[in-house]
């Protein structure tokens, strides 16, 4: 069974956020989070969507909580995040 997380992120400045996001690949991989795609909205370039496969939903949620509490999101200019966990049921 595949677990997918789709996150909608509203940003102050995509160009500030993106290098910081990309700089955390090791942390993501170490926690079983594998990026499948990052998409930028054409209507609002400061809205991004991330699609990632997660090995363990509970662990992914804990990582998201730690990132938020660490202040890293604030530093990256994240205004809001809307993560949605999905499980492949086909």
Does the pLDDT at position 89 exceed 80?
no
Q: What class has domain 3-87? A: alpha beta
Digit-coded pLDDT (tens) for 3-28: 999 999 999 999 999 999 999 899 89
Per-residue confidence (pLDDT) for residue 87, from 0 to 100:
87
Domain residue extents for the chain? 3-87
Digit-coded pLDDT (tens) for 54-86: 999 899 999 989 988 999 999 999 999 999 999
> Of 18, 16, 35, 17, whose CA–CA distance to 26 is shortest?
35
User: Are 4 and 83 contacting, i.e. CB atoms less than 8 angstroms apart?
Assistant: no
pTM for the model stands at 0.88
Torsion 45-85-63-80 (CA) sign: positive
The CA distance from 66 to 59, in Å, is 11
């Amino acid at each position: 069974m595949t677990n997918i997380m789709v996150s909608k992120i509203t940003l102050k400045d995509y160009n500030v956020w993106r290098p910081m996001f990309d700089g955390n690949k090791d942390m993501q991989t170490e926690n079983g989070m594998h990026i499948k795609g990052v998409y930028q909205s054409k209507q609002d370039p400061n809205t991004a969507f991330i699609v990632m496969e997660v090995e363990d939903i509970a662990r992914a949620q804990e990582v998201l909580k730690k990132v938020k509490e660490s202040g890293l999101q604030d530093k990256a200019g994240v205004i809001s995040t809307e993560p949605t966990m999905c499980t492949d049921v086909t």
